[in-house]
């Protein structure tokens, strides 16, 4: 590497990335788009957040988080908060969400087909939304 007129190193030229890296970036971009859309839908409806684990679970099972479903989830979390709940199991249609009520964060999510034993621990309430 040479030096420029001011005595510092010359700028490094960055070469284009290989095609295989571009393809993996496209897959990462699609996953990022899903999470971005999920987060934006929920934030519009009351500031609920999804942990990365919960977002991955929904994405891997192709679960659509519609505005109507997100509204019902938010309403269930509000009900849990009014009752003094801290960690709640929220059941919506064929989905189950474990939510930290205080943090307004969905910790995990699964569909009924994904339940192995059907046991949820460390919750203090269950809500049917």
Residue 34's nearest CA partner among 5, 8, 63, 72 is: 63
Residue 126 has pLDDT above 80, yes or no: yes
Domain membership of residue 6 (yes or no) is no
Sign for the CA dihedral angle at 56, 58, 64, 67 comes to negative
Query: Residue 107 carries which DSSP code?
Result: E
Domain membership of residue 11 (yes or no) is no
Domain membership of residue 61 (yes or no) is yes
Strand partners, 91: 96, 128
The CA distance from 49 to 55, in Å, is: 10
Range of the domain at 42: 19-128
Domain count, the chain: 1
Greater confidence (81 vs 43) lies with: 81
Domain membership of residue 9 (yes or no) is no
Tell me the per-residue pLDDT of 53-91, one tens digit each, with 9 for 90 and over.
998 988 888 888 888 998 999 999 999 999 999 999 999
Burial class (CB in 10 A: 0-12, 13-18, 19+), 51: middle
The CA distance from 102 to 90, in Å, is: 14
Domain membership of residue 5 (yes or no) is no
């Amino acid at each position: 590497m040479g030096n420029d007129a001011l005595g510092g190193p010359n700028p490094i030229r960055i070469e284009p990335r290989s095609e295989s890296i571009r393809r993996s970036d496209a897959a990462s971009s699609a996953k990022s788009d899903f999470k971005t859309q999920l987060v934006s839908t929920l934030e519009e409806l009351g500031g609920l957040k999804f942990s990365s684990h919960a977002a991955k679970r929904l994405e891997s099972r192709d679960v659509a988080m519609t505005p109507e479903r997100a509204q019902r989830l938010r309403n269930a979390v509000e009900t849990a908060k009014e009752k003094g709940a801290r960690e709640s199991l929220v059941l919506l249609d064929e989905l189950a969400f474990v939510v930290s009520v205080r943090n307004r964060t969905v910790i995990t999510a699964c569909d009924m087909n994904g339940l192995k034993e059907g046991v949820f621990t460390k919750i203090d309430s269950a809500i049917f939304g």
